[in-house]
Chains A and B, each alone.
Chain A
Amino acid sequence: MSELIPPSETSEPIPIRTGTVTAEDQKEAVVRLGSAKGGWWRQVGWRHLIAWVALFFGLFPILFLFSAAINPIGTLSTAQLIPNGASLENFSKLFDTTEYVNWYWNTMLIALVAGALSMFISACAAYAYSRFRFRGRRMGLLGLLLIQMFPQFLAIVTLYLMFTTITDYYPRIGFNTPWSLIILYLGGALGVNTWLMKGFLDTIPKDLDESARVDGATHAQIFFGIILPLITPILAVTGLLGFIGYVNEFLIANVFLTDPESKTLAVGLFGLVAGERNNNFGVFAAGAVLAAIPTVVLFQILQRFIVGGLTTGAVKG
């Protein structure tokens, strides 16, 4: 296969280092001798082309969503890729006819609180698994991974029955409250996050803790004072992924939240287009565009952490 492609069409050309000796530059010239060197197209142009194709594939549904949101007629059949008119009709309809503000508030409350708490719990668990040696540690780690694979929904019947009783005794954390979901989500938060964080923690030298302990620091001081600041990247990643996961959670929320004003965005917007697909499409699109703002903003801010955080944890298992 390698013979079929001339050396000029490299996908990984030899990196050009600044400050190298001339001999090396000459060597590179020798390697490239006889090829159509220096063509902008061959070097980077085609990369732009592929990037544009990938961009189109990635962005056209999002563009369509925007166009549908500002489409004055607001039906699926009239929505175009390129908007043929602009109005805020769909947005005002969204706020007038649905409990959208409540949905938004519920979603943000659940996702922020559950995301932050799950981040903290996972960090505590990861610290213990990474730094302490105790009986059942390996089993515990594997157990976390396996429990994570249990189909979440199987528990729904049981959870439903449990929360029926809880709603009777203490309705503030029962059905139709954000707190019921936050409590539930925390239960399922440990698995993958703990693994990711433990992998990251393992890369932080133990000498740091040990020297602190020699100086008389307690576990709490080590954890909050030394470890937490060092694992900021992975905290950002797990917090962000948790937040996105909770915004998108549908299965449990759909069973637990039935009052119109207690729904989350996922449940509420699903309800908009579940039955009436054509007519409510514009309103749905408007709601989806607004719902995307927090996650997209968070993503762009935390982008640089994501790559490092995910792969560091992954490599170290």
Chain B
Amino acid sequence: MHALVAVDWHVIWQQVFHPNNVFFRTLWATVYISIVSQAAGVLLGLLAALARMSRFAPFRWISGVYVWIFRGTPLLVQIFYVYFAFSWPTLHFGFWTVTDAALAGIVALSINEGAYMREIIRAGIDSVDRGQMEAAKSVGMTYGQAMRRIILPQAARVIVPPLGNEFNNMMKNTSLVYTIGVFEMFAYAEQNYSQFFIADYFLAIAVWYLLLTTIWTFIQAWIERRLGASERGDELSFRERLELAWNPMAAWARGTPHR
């Protein structure tokens, strides 16, 4: 008799501790697609946020329609449409090749992410006191200079925590581009599954996804600590920050001071 759930520990062990080169290629694909898409998403979100606050009404409308459409439709639909409606080139950077599907996937993920980032960035900018812009202008800064040097650095403290969550989601959402033929981590597991019918390949990549998101949690905590360090006298320790990032409720219950 089989146990109801039989875990093939051999496969798990091998895939987690002795992965082959093909796996590493797919891991790299997942990582670079996440990073590039998130970075482009932040830029798009910033542009859309600035457009949203523009004095020129058509910019505000475009920004509104953008968010309305891309937050209101499924990411998977967007990925398929972007891939099949346009023809994408395959890019070569030395040893590194970005396939047409990967490029389309990055574009779709970026545009989708930008729509979510717009709200986050706008909330961040709104959180900065209005007097800051006036003070910056009074010493002769233009709007752009004031944004870059005074407003955005302060908004960053508010933007970074939700941005971290977005990136966490992004790393997991990249698995969707498997559907248009990008050979990334999920595609690797799926391919092995359909060859050997061993579901543990999925479990193994789940471990890898978990590893990626956990590493990110640490990086995020470090960034947040650095951003918050300057202006607070009652600075949290690194451990408290991690705890806060990891489990805010528990940190709160233990009486860790927070903003």
Do the two chains bind? no
* Chain B interface residues (CB < 8 Å from chain A): none
